[in-house]
Structure 1
Amino acid sequence: MPQKRLSVVVTRRLPEVVETRLTELFDVTLREDDTPMTRAELVAAVASADVLVPTITDVIDAGLIGQAGPNLRLIANYGAGVDHIDVETARARGIMVSNTPGVMTDDTADMVMGLMLAVTRRMQEGLAVMQADQWQGWAPTAFLGARLGGKRLGILGMGRIGQAVARRARAFGMQIHYHNRRRLRPETEEALEATWWESLDQMVARMDVISVNCPHTPSTFHLLNARRLKLMKPSAVLVNTSRGEVIDEAALTRMLKARDLGGAGLDVYQHGIKGHPDLVNMPNVVMLPHMGSATLEGRVEMGEKVIINVKTFADGHRPPDQVVPAML
């Protein structure tokens, strides 16, 4: 007799090619529209499924996991970040968690450079003038920004994405500095021509641009707090494509309003999808709706990793991208 197909519930719409392949391999319940599941819908999903495929918009906390049915044995996250999943509680319940690491590295690093350029070259202001049909013609002193070449870039978090940012920034002629929990291997540091700072305070005070590329953990919450933000140069630019919780957004907003900071490029926010309301119309701030990994190629690759993780689990093996609490 053929093996019974796993029951898989997908919480959001995925690229069509990914949904089709999931349907071919498993007994899949797909999302009809692209809205997040309600809490009640998530409860129903974990109560019935063998495998849940959530995204960053789904809060998979201890309370939800506590309502899981006896068949739920894998949470195959569609995305690399798992801070929305209580991995320890899942493990205690015998439920494995997997993710999709490494897929969005280049896409996110590209977006870091895009935001860096957008803020330093005042693209937001230029775009606003053009959209309002207010441009009066070229002038020698209009929209003067700053070039990236020769500037010092401080990377907070030198993992895969941080290193990809470093390689791109070197091509722009920037000087690479970084702060990390652990110093890179000498050969990696040499290849990136990167300078390590053990003290984040000392690095922050010297940089022209800071790029946040570290995950959100208890130790990184408000790592860039009001005190550290005040150490930055008044002309410096802050770019965040990682997690909004790493920055004290209220303190950042106050500094930007007071022009105590040159500008900011933000793709993530401390309180979910809403950035601080005062940030919205600031000319020196570029805000994006969490687009860092938003390429079709990247989204399909994420789906392929989910499929591999679920298929490996279905075959009785440990998913290649399993996440355990010790990794967090």
Structure 2
Amino acid sequence: MNDGIAPAAEAPPARILGLLRELGELKRIRSAGREGSIADRLFASAWSALCGGQALEEAWRATTASALAATRLGDIDRTVLAEVGVTGGEAEAILSRAVDEAAEEVEPALRAALRDAPRIPAGTPAPDFVPRLARQPRAGVTCPGRPRLLLEPPENHAEHCLMVAVYGVLLCPFYGARPETVYLASLAHHLHNAIIPDSGFAGEVLLGEHLEPAFARATEKALQELPPALADGVREARAILPDASTPEGRAFHAADTLDRVLQIEQHLRAGKASMSYVLNDMALVHEGPVKPFQDRLLAVVGLAA
């Protein structure tokens, strides 16, 4: 079937999947003293920054750069570095190196824009829909007439929306899309789930003619929590969501589809990991002064691979 999209615009190079997989793990990285995953908190800080007046062009750069840095540093951010006495240029150099290392497959002009990204400002409370989306689990895999496939632990809607926003920014160069529009639409594409629990495809089919009106009313209730100008911007950005007829629509739907599929792949991939891969390829017992002892131990008890 030809939908009018040039073949070159249908998909980014497959080599970027490695980076997208790494970013997806931010849904599962947590640390002491902080609630939720890194993706949870980036979603909250993104909305906080926008509500506080950060320019959209700065916001997408700041959030995407923070996500890239976290693939290498985990939860070691400016706040943690400052607590241990690493500040100023030294802290910025660490974060820049992390972004550079993670962004090897990112389009060069975008990589340069992310290297000099501004900080995500703090201080403005996030809208009420943010914690509600963080508490709202995704439905898993559902299909009419078939039992639900639910893989634990489920992601939540804050994590999914954040990841689609970051993926979308990274995919924009391949589609010639505007990152500010894709970023904002992605952050806001599940606002209805702040009120409506996620029942998946199967539940949506059963809602029938009530589906779209219910989603629209729930979305508007969430938008009322935003400053009026920002709410108008979100409505405008969300105009790309219904189809893939624009560069922005293609970038969004590519990001949304890849995140949904890679989320399931993560569960399946972990289940297929072998002890040989963990010990040899991933160096679970890594080089160091006690490695000979550790290797002999594993051999004797029968855990060597």
> TM-score normalised to the size of structure 1?
0.21
Of Structure 1 and Structure 2, which has the larger fraction of its residues in strand?
A: 1
Q: Which has the higher helix share?
A: 2
The structure that has the greater radius of gyration is 1
